[in-house]
Structure 1
Amino acid sequence: MTSSLESIRVIDFGQYIAGPLTGMLLADQGADVIKIDPPAGPVWDMPANATWNRGKRAIGLDLKSASD
């Protein structure tokens, strides 16, 4: 069975509730969601992050660094 968003890739830069929650809903529908965090980790490190980031791949990047 194919998902409705199977061929969609989403880059998630969200840090509080709205962005991660939207990415979670898109991942639940089959989108390939990639969560981008700063090198030090999430700005808002809460227990709910485990739920909001389910189904996503994650990477830490320093977007001010050309090498990243």
Structure 2
Amino acid sequence: MNPGAFTHTSVALHDAIRGANVTLIELPISNVHARESFRHHSFISPAAPGIVVGLGVKGYGIAIDALVQVSEQK
């Protein structure tokens, strides 16, 4: 999931993810920790078993592989 600006602004999105009981991997395309400090906090991360950060679009393949592995462990 790449929630864009909702990552650091939306408690509602966090609650919806938790309420839906879905498994997701958070995927910020850019390295949010190298950007403005307000982007360093994610409301999504606590609802995700993993995060792939800052690898550009190459991160999508890694995130899919991680999602498969996490899903198989359940």
Q: TM-score, normalised by structure 2?
A: 0.44
Q: TM-score, normalised by structure 1?
A: 0.47
More helix by share: 2
More strand by share: 1
